[in-house]
């Protein structure tokens, strides 16, 4: 596998210094926690392979990159990969069966399956992804210099790009509101108060519940690792479609509680200590599951024949 060249490395360096309060999908801390848990559970062989792909960087350093690039038009095609929509009048099985009819990547589960296959198999999957990136580059390049830089990025770091996407989307599907309802855009359209401040329901789950703990991502990963032995029903061997089913169940519970806490002055759900008390354990369990499952996936991908 090729090493990351200067263009991709520069992006990684920038991400290391982004403030932890920046609101990305699942929050910067959420994605880094999942990645850090995974990093700690890699086999020595997988650890070595990941370091080679990332030119010495860690999973935590590249976990937020797919959110960082969402503002760039040439990456618009990847926006639907951050979530999967499961409306209340359908089922996970029906949505997944429909998406399998289309060879294109339509949602987070498709993306997880594609990028895990790319990293394990290489060959045709690498070429398929490279062609997709080249098509997007040519469609959106604004000037020749940028065109050349983007071409070099795609050519020299295809495996690193795939690994970054895989790490990110495994985290996303473990956040219950990334398995969202179309009618409210995964809770983004539901305005709430979070400890008295204006927010929205999705952001509470992406960031609020995690940041409320006041821990760095490495501290949180340590605490989650210490609690792993006492956690029940982690089901690390479950396939990605089961991760989605679990998120649907947690999403249902989250919605049931949010409307019990309406503030009659603002008319918005008023979420604070009691909501954090009830659902912080849920988001912590999901981050732990995401990290352990990601580690297992990477260990399998990078194992020797």
pLDDT in tens, 53-88: 998 899 999 999 999 888 888 899 999 999 999 999
Alpha helices in the chain (DSSP H): 6-16, 27-40, 44-53, 59-62, 65-68, 92-99, 108-121, 124-140, 144-156, 158-173, 201-203, 209-211, 217-227, 240-258, 273-301
Alpha carbons 192 and 197: distance in angstroms, whole number: 8
HSE toward the beta carbon, residue 70, CA cutoff 13 A: 14
CATH code of the domain occupying 182-294: 1.10.575.10
pLDDT tens-digit readout, 146-183: 544 444 444 458 999 999 999 999 999 999 999 999 99
Show the DSSP H helices in 157-305 as ranges: 158-173, 201-203, 209-211, 217-227, 240-258, 273-301
- Strands laid side by side in the 191-194 sheet: 197-200, 191-194, 270-271
> Which one is predicted more confidently, 102 or 197?
197
pTM for this predicted structure: 0.87
Tell me the CA end-to-end span of the chain in Å, nearest whole number: 16
Q: Where in the chain is the domain with CATH 1.10.575.10?
A: 182-294
Residues whose CB is less than 8 angstroms from the CB of residue 165 and which lie 6 or more positions away in sequence, other chains included: 66, 78, 81, 111, 115
Query: CA 240, CA 79: separation in Å to the nearest integer?
Result: 19
Q: What are the angstrom distances between the C-alpha of 85 and each of 70, 147, 198, 234, 289?
A: 19, 34, 25, 23, 21
Q: How many CB atoms lie within 10 A of CB 62?
A: 30
Q: What is the pLDDT of residues 203-223, one digit of tens each?
A: 999 999 999 999 999 999 999
Backbone φ and ψ for 218, nearest 5 degrees, come out as -75, -35
């Amino acid at each position: 596998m090729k090493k990351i060249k200067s263009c991709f490395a520069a992006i990684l360096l920038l991400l290391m210094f982004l403030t932890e309060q920046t609101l990305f999908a699942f929050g910067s801390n959420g994605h880094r926690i999942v990645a850090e848990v995974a990093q700690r559970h890699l086999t020595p062989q997988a650890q070595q392979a990941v370091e080679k792909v990332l030119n010495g960087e860690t999973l935590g350093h590249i976990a937020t990159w797919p959110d960082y690039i969402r503002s760039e038009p040439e990456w618009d095609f990847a926006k639907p990969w951050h979530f999967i929509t499961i409306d209340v009048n359908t089922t996970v099985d029906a949505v997944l069966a429909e998406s399998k009819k289309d060879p294109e990547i339509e949602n987070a589960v498709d993306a997880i399956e594609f990028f895990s296959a790319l990293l394990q198999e290489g060959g045709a999957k690498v070429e398929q992804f490279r062609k997709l990136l080249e098509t997007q580059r040519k469609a959106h390049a604004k000037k020749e210099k940028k065109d050349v830089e983007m071409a070099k990025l795609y050519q020299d770091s295809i495996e690193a790009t795939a690994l970054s996407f895989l790490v990110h989307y495994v985290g996303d599907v473990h956040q219950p509101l990334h398995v969202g309802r179309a009618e409210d855009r995964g809770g983004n359209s539901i305005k709430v108060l979070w400890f008295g401040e204006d927010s929205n329901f999705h952001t509470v789950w992406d960031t609020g519940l995690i940041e409320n703990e006041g821990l760095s991502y490495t501290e949180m990963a340590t605490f989650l690792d210490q609690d792993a032995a006492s956690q029940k029903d982690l089901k690390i061997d479950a396939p990605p479609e089961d991760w989605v089913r679990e998120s649907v169940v947690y999403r249902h519970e989250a919605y049931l509680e949010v409307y019990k806490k309406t503030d009659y002055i603002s008319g918005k759900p008023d979420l604070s200590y009691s909501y954090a008390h009830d659902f912080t354990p849920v988001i912590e369990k999901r981050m732990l599951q995401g990290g352990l499952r990601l580690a297992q996936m990477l260990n399998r991908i990078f194992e020797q024949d």
